Amino acid sequence: MDIYGISIRQPLAGDIVGDTIALAAIGTAFEATYRWKLVRDGKTLAEGFITAGSMGAMETWVEQLNTKAANVAGPAVLELAGDDPSEGEGPDVEPARVSVIVIPGSRGYVPYLVRKGDTLTKILQELGGDPKLSSIKNTALASGLKNPDKIFPGQLLRIPV
């Protein structure tokens, strides 16, 4: 991070985001405007602006970002850029980036430790919940499963809720 850079503290890499993102960052600015974008394959899924910072001090701040426009599940990158006080206004500083998993409508996940004899279908039926959120596809995405038919005892799954 350069002296005017931004560091994203939350979300962490691999976090699940739904209709909102709780963004925690540290940066320096004098009531700067920060631009955020949620991007997948070069396409902007959601974006907006926030104002944060005071008196040029390096400080932490927290904002809630509305990401409802990102209505397709899958991996994405949250980008955050702000003003560079050495150059005047504008997004002149390289954006901070973090990889996340978008699951529209999700507000988090329930951890589940796989037991002998479990199948993903059986687990999802037992846990109930919203079948659109807790689908095999979304659970595989949230849990980083390459093949949802291959789970093993002791594996930790993340069931979107």
Among 124, 121, 102, CA closest to 112: 124
Q: Write down the pLDDT at residue 11.
A: 94
- What is the tens place of the pLDDT at every residue in 82-106? 755 445 444 455 789 999 999 998 9
Q: Where in the chain is the domain with CATH 3.10.350.10?
A: 109-160
How, if at all, do strands 96-102 and 32-40 pair? Answer: unpaired
Q: Write down the pLDDT at residue 70.
A: 81
Q: Where in the chain is the domain with CATH 2.60.40.10?
A: 6-102
CATH architecture classification, 109-160: Roll (3.10)
CATH of domain 6-102: 2.60.40.10
Q: Which two tokens stand for residue 107?
A: 């507000």
Q: Write down the pLDDT at residue 4.
A: 58
Q: For the residues of 73-118, what is the DSSP string, one character each? A: -EEEEEEEE--BTTTBSSS-SPPEEEEEEE-TT---EEEEE--TT-
Among 91, 61, 68, CA closest to 21: 68
Number of H helices, E strands in the chain: 2, 10
The whole-number mean pLDDT for each consecutive block of 10 residues of the chain, a chain of 161 residues, reads 72 92 80 85 92 72 86 92 56 79 90 95 87 87 93 95 88
